[in-house]
Amino acid sequence: MAKNIVVFSDGTGQEGGLREEQRLSNVYKLYRVCRVGPDSGIDPREQVAFYDAGLGTDGSAPGFVGAYRRLQKLLSSVTGLGITKNIADCYEFAINHYEPGDRIYLIGFSRGAYTARCVANVLFLCGVPTKVPGGDLPRFRKATRDIADEAVIKVYEYGAGSPRGGDYEKDRFELARRFRRKYRSGDDLSSNVAPHFIGVFDTVASLGATGPKWWGIAAGLTILAVLVAAVPAVLSDLAFGTGYWRPFLATLSLTAAFVLWRWLPTAVKTITDSPVNGKARWHIAQWRSGNYDQLLSGHVGYARHALSIDETRADFPRVRWGSRDGVRKKVQGEPDPLIQMWFAGNHSDIGGSYPEAESRLSDVALQWMVEQATKIPDPLRVDGMVSGEPGTGRLHLHPASDGMQHCEVAGMHDSIAGILPRWLSRRMGWLGWPVKVREIPEDALVHPSVRERFDLAEVTQCDGKGPYRPLALANHRDFRTAYAPGSPNPGAAKSGIV
């Protein structure tokens, strides 16, 4: 009996289920009603689910482990490779549970949405292993994790951050072909598995720090390394009279060696007998914002993307997805293979994580995603839901087009003002989020709730009430007339620009 394997990947800092009144993302809300458990009606023979907490959620462990994980997070901010573990976690779950005929669902928010899309492309390249050289595939063992790491680190991330096409792409396809042959996960031309459904909320990447932030983190880590080396050097000199510089330099060297030991295996990519020149090749890979992975394989069954109209943080640009030529052909009588829909609200007004009393806009996006995932052939199973009808089952949503709209740009200004004196905070505006209005194609699909919001005399936003006129839609063919002089409620709402 074929089953659904559902992987949920959450956004940065999101880790659902820790506290009673915790702010929950749409990813975690959906996971709760799709998982197997004593409080769930989901049959494990029909569906299994996995929740992967977002980047930057490992620092809550006590003592040395917590400190080590926080250090890892900082290193990831500089190198841009922190997402590797999340991708491997999700892929490992698929390996452990997959049987021929099973369907894979990938659902994510924010950087977790990018993670889900990366997992889809790992499957495109590597498939799901069914054998190992000389025997059966190990499940739920360290060897399974080693296979997942091999697929992600050695194959998928080969050439990471470089433009598609060219020599790196040729090498990566060759590495993928060798992986598929080694683990019986496809043939020389393609893999054995593709996702049945991918549903993502406002994909962003921002995997590595840039500019002043990069230099700030790098400087902080350098100072930390010097301090780590200085303490044992001073103690050694006081206790044994060894002098200061030798133990200091020895400890500093060991610290640097440890950092390199952790970083090099994931950063340095190699291939033997490259199809490019027949020789061994190597390079250091690092994701870059100009070359994030935008591929949507033509083998994916259905793909859905909920996008934010009102997100204005320049550090949170959407990561484009797919191309007209790359999407599979539509089958008559079935839903479209790819739908990318724009919704009112900022980043977390789409993906959730605000208090429940302020989550009506994120309910709009979540209800749409649930409808999309439950009205396709072999649908997602949602506990208690009847025939994909919203309002049935355990997932209770209250979508409203007039819902509260948030603004993280204004929120950062408030945070700075709460720390610094008023006279100083006014002069420190550069500490806040840099602003950039998103570019929305004039023919982009816009959810009907956006038109409803436009037609209201006023809506609630974090800086007051007024008509909804986001700058991002000023050139959209369905809304541009609303900005013309003399139109009802003309003008543009601040929409996050303060």
Q: Give 466-489 pLDDT, tens digit per residue.
A: 999 999 999 999 999 989 887 776
For residue 325, what pLDDT is reported?
80
Q: Is the pLDDT of residue 81 over 60?
A: no
For residue 18, what pLDDT is reported?
52
Q: Count the neighbouring beta carbons within 10 Å of the beta carbon of residue 308.
A: 26
Q: What percent of the chain has pLDDT over 90?
A: 60
Q: Is the pLDDT of residue 107 over 90?
A: yes
Once rounded to an integer, what is the mean pLDDT over residues 228-232? 79
Q: Is the pLDDT of residue 300 over 50?
A: yes
For residue 365, what pLDDT is reported?
99
Higher pLDDT, 164 or 429: 164
Adjacent-strand bridge partners of 153: none
Once rounded to an integer, what is the mean pLDDT over residues 435-443? 95
- Kindly indicate the confidence band of residue 4, based on its pLDDT and cuts at 50, 70 and 90: very high
Which are the contacts of 379, defined by CB distance < 8 A and separation ≥ 6? 373, 388
Q: What is the pLDDT of residues 133-178, one digit of tens each?
A: 989 999 999 999 999 999 999 999 999 878 878 889 999 999 999 9
For residue 73, what pLDDT is reported?
62
For residue 496, what pLDDT is reported?
46
- Kindly indicate the confidence band of residue 250, based on its pLDDT and cuts at 50, 70 and 90: confident
- Kindly indicate the confidence band of residue 498, based on its pLDDT and cuts at 50, 70 and 90: very low
Q: What is the pLDDT of residues 344-398, one digit of tens each?
A: 999 999 999 999 999 999 999 999 999 999 999 999 999 988 766 666 778 999 9
- Assess contact for 348 and 5: CB atoms under 8 A: no
State CA 3 to chain mean position distance.
Answer: 25
Q: Is 0.75 topped by the overall pTM? A: yes
Higher pLDDT, 262 or 68: 262
- Assess contact for 148 and 92: CB atoms under 8 A: yes
Once rounded to an integer, what is the mean pLDDT over residues 94-118? 97
Q: Is the pLDDT of residue 248 over 90?
A: no
Q: Is the pLDDT of residue 423 over 70?
A: no
Least Cα distance to 197 among 324, 46, 31, 380 occurs for 380
- Assess contact for 11 and 27: CB atoms under 8 A: yes
For residue 49, what pLDDT is reported?
99
In whole angstroms, give the CA distance from residue 420 to residue 312. Answer: 24
- At residue 158's C-alpha, the angle toward residues 100 and 256, to 5°, is 120
- Kindly indicate the confidence band of residue 324, based on its pLDDT and cuts at 50, 70 and 90: confident
Higher pLDDT, 14 or 263: 263
In whole angstroms, give the CA distance from residue 346 to residue 468. Answer: 13
Q: Is the pLDDT of residue 104 over 60?
A: yes
Six-digit token pair at 462? 């974090």
Once rounded to an integer, what is the mean pLDDT over residues 234-246? 79
Q: Which of 158-167, 329-338, 402-411 bottoms out in mean pLDDT, i.e. has the lowest?
A: 158-167
Over the chain, what is the mean pLDDT? 87
Q: Is the pLDDT of residue 490 over 90?
A: no
For residue 356, what pLDDT is reported?
95
CATH number assigned to the domain covering 4-62+79-208+288-374: 3.40.50
Q: Is the pLDDT of residue 430 over 70?
A: no
For residue 94, what pLDDT is reported?
99
Enumerate the domain spans of the chain. Answer: 4-62+79-208+288-374, 211-268, 408-483
Q: What is the pLDDT of residues 195-206, one digit of tens each?
A: 999 999 999 987
- Three-state secondary structure of 250-284: HHHHHHHHHHHHHHHHHHEEEECCCCCCCCCEEEE
